[in-house]
């Protein structure tokens, strides 16, 4: 009976450990919380990649939707825009509606999740074709992001775009 | 009999929790299904990276094995090849057996899994050394893939290689 | 009492399923072991990315801490250094304390975990700005790593840096 009682308590502990977000008596996160963190990092990684994909496609509507509905902010070489409408308009003006022979390499993702907010750091490299020769890297640098889970989806709360290597003046 | 009954009930719970793709009463995927999805994305990411590694090593046998045994297809600047043997022969003819001072940067992975099939989108950048100066990007673009789980392993069902920046004519 | 007994047996099953590295009767790893592997791959990926981030920041103290306390080794174009102090001194001498207009693209991660050790293969591309023109790739190649879990954290046991494309002579 003693053993049975102990097992019973062990059973309660095990169920506790499996509950979403539950922490056990040692303070470790439960398995579901660990899976959730992996999923969050993957979802934020996808957000970082979508950014490059939508820029390269000049799909500014999809691009603007990557930002938080509540005050999502883009800040970089074109200025600072707050809110999806302002972001859409700034990018449309800065880069136009038509894709060109160029693209972004998105790399070096570092993502730190803390509940429903997160921070990210990553690198960008802008590769452009040239009519008369080899493709070249025109610009490159890093992104510094604050992210927020909004209605179950990760969004940019603020993205700061920093240039680390200088190139010729920006061109459309 | 009592013990058997208890085991039976415990067994039902355990099997339910562990079954691949099990969904709970709310329609959420079970934890095991969520882990499986993360593993699938990781395995497909590895496939995308192996592609670059085997191209750079000119290991066309390993390269051909990345494709589905049943009609795996490569399509791009060298033409279209269906099946491992045809893929092997096309690549051997196009790029030869000997690695050179050049490599592929594989980036921007976007992977969507749906059971035993998946779609992927990613970017490639071909960097080549030059005898007389700086390394340069000769070509770059994107991959559009359909993938299939075949005998427990993810394979390319079809890979379409698209160029986004133009370079000089291809060279061996 | 009947209910308590059910919990007891369920508890045994749950503990078995949740134990680190637990394997079921078919020899499959348990769910927790699968999650642990995903976490290990993510942690090692972060190590690979931190390497580039600390090099680019010329933060050689943080850089040296990425290596195993017990004989961590860096080997590449600057020579071979064994141990954190030697690694710190070699990098400080080779690249100096001040960040410049250049950065590393870290890509093509291939990570194989085996318990408390692991192997990794990945690519690096060194992009540098130029005072008089476009940014350029000065060097690029691959990393071949042996990793070890030390005090719960993944560290480089040995990193071999191989160049695949040649550039001009190294410069500070």
Assign B95 to helix, strand or coil.
helix
Short-list B122, B130, B127, CA closest to B51: B122
pLDDT reported for residue B170: 47
How distant is the Cα of A31 from the closest Cα of chain B, in angstroms? 9
Q: Which residue of B has its CA nearest to C31?
A: B32
CB proximity under 8 Å: B 143-162 to A: none
ipTM exceeds 0.90 = no
Interface of B with C in 40-99 (CB under 8 A): 42, 46, 49-50, 52-53, 56
| pLDDT tens digits for range A87-111 | 999 999 999 999 999 999 999 999 9
- Residue C23 DSSP symbol: B
Q: What is the pLDDT of residue B21?
A: 41
Q: What is the pLDDT along chain A (172 residues), one digit of tens a residue?
A: 344 333 343 333 333 333 334 455 556 789 999 999 999 999 999 999 999 999 999 999 999 999 999 899 999 999 999 999 999 999 999 999 999 999 999 999 999 999 999 999 999 999 999 766 689 999 999 999 999 999 999 999 999 999 999 755 444 4
Q: Which candidate from A31, A107, A137 shows the least CB-CB separation from C136?
A: A137
DSSP β-ladder status, A117-130 and A102-114 = antiparallel
* Cβ atoms of A60 and A94 closer than 8 Å: no
Query: Contacts of residue A141 in chain C, CB cutoff 8 Å?
Result: 103
Tens digit of pLDDT for each residue in C35-83?
A: 999 999 999 999 999 999 999 999 999 999 999 998 999 999 999 999 9
Nearest to A38 among B38, B137, B142 (CB): B38
Q: Decide if A53 and B109 are in contact by the 8 Å CB cutoff.
A: no
Total beta-carbon pairs less than 8 A apart between chain A and chain C: 109
Separation between Cα atoms, residue B65 and residue B77, nearest integer Å: 20
Please name which of A7, C13, A14 lies closest in space to residue B8, comparing C-alpha atoms. C13
- Contact between chains at C164 and B35 (C-beta distance less than 8 A): no
Burial class of residue A140 (count of CB atoms within 10 Å of its CB; 0-12, 13-18, 19+)? buried
List the pLDDT tens digit at each of the 172 positions of chain B.
344 333 333 333 333 333 344 455 556 789 999 999 999 999 999 999 999 999 999 999 999 999 999 899 999 999 999 999 999 999 999 999 999 999 999 999 999 999 999 999 999 999 999 766 689 999 999 999 999 999 999 999 999 999 999 755 444 3
pLDDT, one tens digit per residue, over C129-150 is: 976 668 999 999 999 999 999 9
Q: Do B35 and A39 make contact, defined as CB atoms within 8 angstroms?
A: no
pLDDT for C13 beyond 90: no
**Chain A nearest C-alpha distance from C25 (Å):** 20
Write down how long chain A is.
172
Residue B21 is encoded by which pair of tokens?
A: 């793709």
Residue A99 CB-density burial (10 A; 0-12 exposed, 13-18 middle, 19+ buried): middle
Distance of CA A15 to the CA centre of its chain: 33
The DSSP 8-state label assigned to residue B171 in this structure reads -
| Spatial CB neighbours of B160, under 8 Å, sequence gap ≥ 6 | B75, B76, B143, B144, B145
State the chains in contact with C (3 or more Cβ–Cβ pairs under 8 Å). Answer: A, B
Are C110 and B50 a contacting pair at CB < 8 A? Answer: yes
Q: Which two tokens stand for residue C43?
A: 């942690």
């Amino acid at each position: 009976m003693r053993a049975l009682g102990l097992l019973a308590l062990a059973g309660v502990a095990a169920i506790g450990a499996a509950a979403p977000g539950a922490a056990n008596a040692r303070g470790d996160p439960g398995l579901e919380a660990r899976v959730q963190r992996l999923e969050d990092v993957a979802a934020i990684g996808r957000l970082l990649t979508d950014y490059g994909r939508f820029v390269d496609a000049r799909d500014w509507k999809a691009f603007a939707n990557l930002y938080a509905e509540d005050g999502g902010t883009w800040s970089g070489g074109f200025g600072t825009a707050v809110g999806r409408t302002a972001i859409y308009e700034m990018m449309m003006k800065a880069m136009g509606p038509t894709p060109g022979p160029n693209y972004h390499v998105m790399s070096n993702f570092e993502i730190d999740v803390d509940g429903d907010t997160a921070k990210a750091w990553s690198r960008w490299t802008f590769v452009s074709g040239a009519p008369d020769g080899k493709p070249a890297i025109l610009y490159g640098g890093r992104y510094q992001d604050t992210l927020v889970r909004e209605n179950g989806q990760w969004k940019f709360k603020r993205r700061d775009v920093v240039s680390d290597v200088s190139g010729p003046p920006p061109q459309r």
